[in-house]
């Protein structure tokens, strides 16, 4: 990908899997670093390593999980992005060498490393940065002579506005409707036409952003119980009224059983409006129009999330997380910028740092416990 002018996150992606060799590569990058399973996905086989002392424990933990999940414990080492956003670009290619991008989606709001609210276009990007993302995505598709619909995913560094290739999904994504809403296209129809050997009907200049769109994934799960999947009968289901600006994609109705043997996602709610603020208000309104009895869903949680002040201000992931690691002890003196804890709240883990020189008073949570939005982890002696 680097030869195709697609930004690659600094790291080691080679065949040598000797632990000491990987350790040397990690030291060249400088800590903290990310250890990732080559065949990984959904956060499995992925660990943040903050210090040299933790490296071998984190490596072995990632390898064990990767072997169980993918039957392959091959690892790569990458620079750790401390303030990441998950931004992906929709691309299309045909058999005649034509390629376009249909702009980007921000999928940073996640739980258990799975997307729950997506939006398009990504907030806070200027036209120049948006074009760079799209061009890099098309370059990635061209590099492999890709034909059809694809999604090129990037890790976007919120601190520097740099972005790095993460992976390419060779299919339409669950969240593709928000791209259709802002570009007024039918991506499924385009797929069929390209598969039939036809040329793309659109040039890059034909693709324009029109308004803003959100998608919320409706899950049968209990957010108050670590997002535990819920099974059972849907006694009653009433959905928002569908129109040009509101789509509901679902496979269930009143009387259906939600089985333990399938993914707990039961519907997708997609809304569109002229700008982000109006689209967000519409999302909240249409979520409130859902009526489901018989089992617990994440709809109240989605409404709370979409209503959060910081989410409305374009700050991503104002959501609960899981304490991965506490790195300090009660009574310990810490310096400004020193890492205190690691929280899993998005596609990657977050480092919680001290905002000044101070002394730890009480540690209120331990590794493995949930932390709510705004919840206290550590108190300090004033």
Predicted confidence at residue 257, as pLDDT, reads: 95
Q: Which residue has the higher pLDDT, 112 or 151?
A: 151
Would you name the residues annotated as active-site residues? 171
- Please indicate, yes or no, whether residues 53 and 106 belong to a single structural domain of this protein: no
Instruction: State how far Cα 242 lies from the chain centre.
Output: 27
pLDDT of residue 239: 97
Mean pLDDT of 158-177: 92
Q: Which of 91-100, 306-315, 336-345 has the lowest mean pLDDT?
A: 306-315
Q: What span, in angstroms and rounded, lies between the C-alpha atoms of 114 and 110? A: 5
Residues 90 and 206 in one domain: yes
pLDDT for 347 equals 45
**Final residue before a domain boundary, out of 312, 342, 369:** 312
Looking at the structure, tell me whether residues 230 and 287 fall in a common domain.
Answer: yes
Domain boundary at 277, 312, 347, which? Answer: 312
Total number of domains constituting the chain: 3
- pLDDT number for residue 345: 58
**Chain-centre distance of CA 112, in angstroms?**
10
pLDDT tens, residue by residue, 84-142: 899 999 999 999 999 999 999 999 988 877 899 999 999 988 899 999 999 999 999 99
Buried b (16+ CB within 10 A) or exposed e, 208-239: eeebbbbbbbbbbbbbeeebebbeeebeebeb
Per residue in 177-224, pLDDT (tens digit) is: 999 999 999 999 999 999 999 999 999 999 999 999 999 999 999 998
Tell me which residue has tokens 């376009």: 100
Are 294 and 232 contained in the same domain?
yes
pLDDT digits (tens, 9 = 90+) for 316-330: 333 456 778 888 988
Q: What is the mean pLDDT of the chain?
A: 90
Q: What is the DSSP letter of 363?
A: E
Residue 311: per-residue pLDDT: 76
Confidence of residue 337 (pLDDT cuts 50, 70, 90): confident
Q: What is the pLDDT of residue 320?
A: 54
SS3 336: coil
CB 279 within 8 Å of CB 212: yes
Report the CATH number at residue 335. 2.40.50.100
Tell me which of 43-57, 95-109, 204-218, 361-375 is least confident. Answer: 361-375
Sign of CA dihedral 336, 47, 161, 370: negative
Contact in structure between 340 and 353 (CB atoms under 8 Å): yes
* pLDDT band at 236; cut points 50, 70, 90: very high
Residues 38 and 115 in one domain: no
Is the domain of 246 the same as that of 362?
Answer: no
Same domain, 158 and 247: yes
Judge if 154 and 225 occupy the same domain.
Answer: yes
| Amino acid 338: pLDDT | 84
- Residues 90, 218, single domain; the answer is yes
Characterize 23-43 residue by residue with b for buried, 16 or more Cβ atoms within 10 angstroms of its Cβ, and e for exposed: bebbeebeebbbbbbeebeeb
pTM: 0.74
Bigger pLDDT: 137 vs 334:
137
Give the domain-ending residue among 51, 79, 107.
Answer: 79
Same domain for 260 and 150, yes or no, is yes
Considering the domain architecture, whether residues 165 and 234 belong to the same structural domain is answered as: yes
Using alpha carbons, select from 237, 309, 227, 295 the residue that is nearest to residue 269.
Answer: 237
Say yes or no to pLDDT of 13 above 60: yes
What pLDDT score was predicted for residue 366? 81
Per-residue pLDDT, 373: 55
> Residue 66 belongs to a domain with what CATH number?
3.30.1490.20
Q: What is the CATH number of the domain that holds 93?
A: 3.30.470.20
Domain that holds residue 333: 321-381
């Amino acid at each position: 990908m680097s030869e195709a002018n697609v930004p690659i996150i600094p790291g080691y992606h080679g065949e040598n899997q000797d632990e000491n060799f990987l350790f040397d590569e990690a030291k060249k990058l400088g800590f903290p670093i990310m250890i990732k399973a080559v065949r990984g996905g959904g956060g499995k086989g992925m660990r943040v390593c903050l210090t040299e002392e933790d490296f071998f424990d984190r490596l072995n933990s990632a390898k064990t999980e990767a072997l169980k999940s993918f039957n392959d414990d091959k690892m790569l080492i990458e620079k750790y992005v401390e303030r990441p956003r998950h931004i992906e670009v929709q691309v299309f290619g045909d058999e005649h060498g034509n390629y376009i991008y249909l702009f980007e989606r921000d999928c940073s709001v996640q739980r258990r490393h799975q997307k729950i609210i997506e939006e398009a276009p990504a907030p806070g990007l200027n036209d120049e940065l948006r074009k760079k993302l799209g061009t890099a995505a098309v370059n990635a598709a061209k590099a492999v002579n890709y034909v059809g619909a694809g999604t090129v995913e990037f890790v976007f560094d919120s601190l520097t506005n740099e972005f790095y290739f993460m992976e390419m999904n060779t299919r339409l994504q669950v969240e593709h409707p928000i791209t259709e809403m802002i570009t007024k296209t039918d991506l499924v129809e385009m797929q069929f036409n390209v598969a039939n050997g036809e040329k793309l009907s659109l040039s890059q200049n034909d693709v324009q952003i029109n308004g803003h769109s959100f998608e919320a994934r409706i899950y049968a799960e209990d957010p108050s119980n670590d997002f535990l999947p819920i099974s059972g009968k849907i006694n009653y289901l009433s959905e928002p009224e569908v129109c040009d600006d509101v789509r509901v994609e679902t496979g269930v109705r009143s009387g259906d059983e939600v089985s333990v043997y399938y993914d707990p996602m039961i519907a997708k709610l997609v809304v569109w409006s002229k700008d982000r603020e109006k689209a967000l208000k519409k999302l909240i309104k249409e979520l409130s129009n859902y009526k489901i009895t018989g089992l617990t869903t994440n709809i109240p949680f989605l409404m709370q999330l979409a209503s959060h002040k910081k989410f409305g201000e374009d700050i991503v992931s104002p959501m609960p997380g899981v304490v991965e690691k506490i790195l300090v002890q009660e009574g310990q003196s810490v310096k400004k910028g020193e890492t205190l804890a690691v929280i899993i709240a998005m596609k990657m883990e977050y480092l919680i740092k001290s905002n000044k020189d101070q002394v730890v008073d009480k540690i209120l949570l331990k590794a493995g416990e949930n932390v709510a939005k705004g919840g206290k982890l550590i108190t300090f002696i004033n």
